[in-house]
Chain A
């Protein structure tokens, strides 16, 4: 599995290559990149929201639970979304505003998982002069299990 060389933190880079609202085709699959989820990435995400549960930090404890080992918190899809998004994708367009999300959880993600994302815009509409896109996302692990699936809405920069 190929891994992106290093995560590009400059969201202006390749901005000229990204689709604007007019060009987004609902139903068309987005190009995504596979991502190896590391323990370090899980724990950095955990620290950013104050997560300190031993299921994410203490392997000896986690092995005694029904999970059988360390897991990531359900909300790890927040990280996976950007980890699996290439630099020329419109998810990274500066000024993209998140208008709401709903997520369903199946299997926990675990350190070492090889994550893939299937994603597309499902719908787009205009409401009170604002340009909305409805996102449809499903994350899988290396066994082909669904980790979680989610629908989100963003307001696109005009």
Chain B
């Protein structure tokens, strides 16, 4: 059954793509995002401490989580004619080369407004140790039939 506003239920899950993090994937994200902060490039620089934190080596861009969550949400929304309208995230743990991360979404609530329909989704990214590395909330619009999408 394809996803529609009517048949969605609170607690429904959206399974996102598994993503293998490597030095190469982080480097590719530098090129894709133009974010060449040495946090993601320079092992010598990462021997320094940042306040009370020492990461011990390069870390993945936090926004790589954001991009992966977006991929999960849009791959789910497009076939239903739905549109990702909002995404809020915070980072809980650094992600390092060798980690595998997987986003998941859980439908939290549905709401109709004067002109449209909205689904709120809790989002979470886990690593291979089942630790939570990023969390947040998304809002997806399911336009009423006849209204324009883009």
Which of chain B's residues have a CB closer than 8 A to the CB of A157? 50
Query: Per-residue CB proximity of A7-47 to B under 8 Å, as 1/0?
Result: 10111100000000000000000000000000000001111
For A122-135 the 0/1 string (1 means CB < 8 A from B) is 00000001100000
8 Å CB contact of B37 from A48, A53, A92 = A92
Chain A nearest CB: distance from B119 CB in Å? 14
A117 / chain B contacts, CB cutoff of 8 Å: none
Contact B25 A48 (CB under 8 A): yes
Query: Do B34 and A49 touch across chains, with their CB atoms under 8 A apart?
Result: no
Closest to A96 in B: B37
- Chain A positions within 8 Å of B83 at CB level: 105
Residues of B within 8 Å of A144, CB to CB, are none
Complex: A19 Cα to B84 Cα, angstroms = 35
Q: B150 contacts A108, CB within 8 Å?
A: yes
A53 and B78 within 8 A (CB): yes
Nearest B residue to A42 via CB reads B32
Nearest CB of B to A72, in Å = 11
What is the interface of chain A, defined by CB distance below 8 A to chain B?
7, 9-12, 44-51, 53, 55, 66-68, 71, 73-75, 78-79, 81-83, 92, 94-105, 107-108, 129-130, 155, 157-158
Further 13 A-B residue pairs, CB within 8 A, beyond A48-B32, A83-B34, A92-B37: A9-B34, A46-B32, A47-B32, A50-B71, A74-B87, A94-B45, A97-B50, A102-B88, A104-B85, A105-B85, A107-B150, A129-B51, A157-B50
Residues on B lying within 8 angstroms of A by beta carbon are 17, 19, 25, 28-39, 45, 48, 50-51, 61-64, 66-68, 70-71, 74-75, 78, 81, 83-91, 148-150
